[in-house]
Amino acid sequence: MRLVTAILRPHRIDDVRTALETFGIQGMTVSQVTGFGIELWRTQTYRGQTFHDESVSAVRVECVVADCDVEDVIEVIRRSGGSAASGAGKIWVLPVDAIARVRTGERGPDAL
């Protein structure tokens, strides 16, 4: 099993969720995050003061998938959540050594 994590622009989350559900992903975690990368700073004005805002709002999508589905899930996220613009996001994958469903105690792929 693998944990697929994607950082995406917030306005893409509905498309990503729909695409992952269509693919067969039954659950995911979505968090609002802020960060910075290679994107240009945004200039903002607050109470007459101009400043550079280095942080960018994004969403973090996480789902645990079977090893055989990793490449397909990456492609689903990339196609539904990406754009040609700089700062469209990142996707990475980490191994999951164990997983258990809290309510039933099921373990491994059955816990998904």
- Domains of the chain: which residue ranges? 2-39+52-111
* Confidence bin at 15 (pLDDT 50/70/90): very high
Q: With 80 as the cut, is the pLDDT of residue 36 above it?
A: no
Q: With 90 as the cut, is the pLDDT of residue 87 above it?
A: no
CATH class of 2-39+52-111: alpha beta
More confident residue, 49 or 71: 71
Tell me the whole-structure pTM to 2 decimals: 0.82
Beta strands in the chain (DSSP E): 2-8, 29-35, 42-46, 49-53, 56-65, 89-95
Residue (of 26, 23, 38) closest to 75 by Cα position: 23
Percent with pLDDT over 90 in the chain:
65
Joined together, the tokens standing for residue 55 give: 């942080």
65-86 average pLDDT score: 90
